[in-house]
């Protein structure tokens, strides 16, 4: 485990041994725990008087975002999103024990927002533990917007490909990309949407940890989460419409092909009737040795084929 205790003192933020936490209560502090084991979590729980259910939830990596109010603190599960490489989305689930004077973060990995908030805390730009909690949540939520904007750009590109693809060469590829994009949007929404409830709990002040001014900041983060969720819902509707347009384009392309095949089959059908008639081998009724009959049948076949081709061309089937 990597445990760091960052304490805000009169001369700035100082890093202290985590064992000093109990004697520093009343002073704004941030205890950051990276990948703690069960024994280390048990020590922190005993030191801070954490509820066993909250400790158990902090060890679970599959917990959905939520906020539970206990007697003297909040237990919060939140999600961070990061793009390590183009097209690759990484999710980081982390937990927070939020006291009036102490913020404890439990995590397994790193994400850009956490490092940025740590710099701000060390620089003394965050006045209290409540503002530290706001900064963690707000900076994490702000990191959602570039990712959602990237999804929007991908949807616009795929829509342009479908509209410009007259021959239908890219329809199959774009359809696969659309379904991948829709899957990513559903995945992100499952993580982001429950965070509205988290911010609602903090804004209501179910636990008397933070004052009205700090709760206003939590309300602002709630508005950001709502905005991200609305953008994701809009993109999901857009992608669904693009998928429908894609399928309609495939169907139209198939209809065009069927028109051509039907027209060609009709022309060949007329020619087949003529050749079949003269292939009956009834010499009594049909003078096969007559040059007039032969050239007449050839002429009729050619004229019929040309007339049908012109007719289908005018109808737009060829």
pLDDT at residue 277, rounded to an integer: 66
pLDDT at residue 136, rounded to an integer: 95
The whole-angstrom separation of Cα 94 and Cα 137 is 11
The whole-angstrom separation of Cα 161 and Cα 174 is 8
* Gyration radius from the chain CA atoms: 35
Beta strands of 175-252 (E only): which ranges?
A: none
- Phi and psi at residue 131, to the nearest 5°: -70, -30
The whole-angstrom separation of Cα 227 and Cα 236 is 14
pTM for this prediction: 0.77
The whole-angstrom separation of Cα 277 and Cα 293 is 12
For helices 195-204 and 212-277, the axis angle rounded to 10 degrees is: 160
pLDDT at residue 275, rounded to an integer: 72
Nearest to 76 by CA among 27, 147, 141: 141
pLDDT at residue 278, rounded to an integer: 64
Residue 139 makes CB contacts below 8 A (sequence gap 6+) with 113, 116, 117
pLDDT at residue 32, rounded to an integer: 93
Residue the block writes with tokens 């992608």: 239
Give the pLDDT of the chain (318 residues) as one tens digit per residue.
578 889 988 888 888 888 888 888 888 999 999 988 888 888 888 888 999 999 988 888 667 899 999 988 999 999 999 877 766 788 899 999 999 999 999 998 888 899 999 999 998 889 899 999 999 999 999 999 999 999 998 888 888 877 776 565 666 667 778 888 888 899 899 999 999 999 999 998 888 888 888 899 999 999 999 999 999 999 989 888 887 877 777 777 778 778 777 777 877 777 777 777 666 665 556 666 667 766 777 787 788 778 877 776 776 666
Burial grade of 117 (CB within 10 A; 0-12, 13-18, 19 or more): buried
Residue the block writes with tokens 């857009």: 238
- Phi and psi at residue 211, to the nearest 5°: -85, 180
Cα-Cα-Cα-Cα dihedral sign, residues 195, 199, 202, 204: negative
pLDDT at residue 268, rounded to an integer: 76
pLDDT at residue 316, rounded to an integer: 66
Q: Between the CA of residue 6 and those of 20, 29, 129, 258, 275, what are the distances in Å? A: 11, 6, 11, 72, 96
């Amino acid at each position: 485990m990597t445990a760091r205790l960052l304490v805000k003192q009169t001369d700035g933020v100082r890093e202290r041994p985590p064992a000093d936490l109990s004697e520093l209560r009343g002073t704004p502090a941030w205890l950051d725990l990276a990948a703690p084991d069960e024994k280390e979590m048990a020590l922190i729980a005993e030191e801070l008087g954490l509820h066993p259910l909250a400790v158990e939830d902090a060890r679970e990596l599959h917990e959905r975002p939520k906020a539970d109010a206990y007697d003297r603190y909040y237990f919060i599960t939140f999600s961070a999103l990061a793009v390590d490489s183009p097209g690759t989305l990484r999710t980081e689930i982390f937990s927070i024990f939020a006291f009036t004077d102490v913020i404890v973060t439990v995590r397994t990995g790193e994400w850009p927002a956490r490092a940025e908030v740590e710099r701000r805390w060390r620089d003394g730009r965050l006045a209290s533990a409540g503002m530290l909690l706001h900064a963690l949540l707000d900076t994490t939520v702000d990191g959602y917007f570039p990712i959602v904007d990237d999804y929007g750009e991908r949807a616009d590109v795929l829509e342009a490909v479908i509209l410009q693809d007259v021959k239908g060469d890219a329809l199959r590829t774009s359809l696969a990309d659309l379904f991948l994009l829709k899957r990513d949007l559903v995945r992100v929404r499952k993580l982001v949407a429950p965070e509205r409830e988290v911010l609602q709990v903090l804004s209501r002040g179910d636990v008397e940890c933070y004052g009205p001014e700090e709760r206003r900041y939590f309300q602002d983060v709630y508005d950001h989460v709502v905005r991200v969720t609305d953008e994701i819902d809009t993109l999901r509707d857009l992608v669904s419409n693009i998928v429908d347009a894609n399928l309609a384009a495939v169907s139209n392309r198939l209809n065009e092909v069927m028109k051509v095949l039907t027209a060609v089959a009709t022309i060949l059908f007329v020619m087949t009737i003529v050749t079949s008639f003269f292939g009956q081998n009834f010499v009594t009724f049909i003078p096969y040795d007559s040059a007039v009959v032969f050239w007449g049948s050839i002429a009729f076949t050619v004229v019929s084929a040309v007339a049908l081709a012109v007719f289908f061309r005018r109808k737009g089937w060829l």
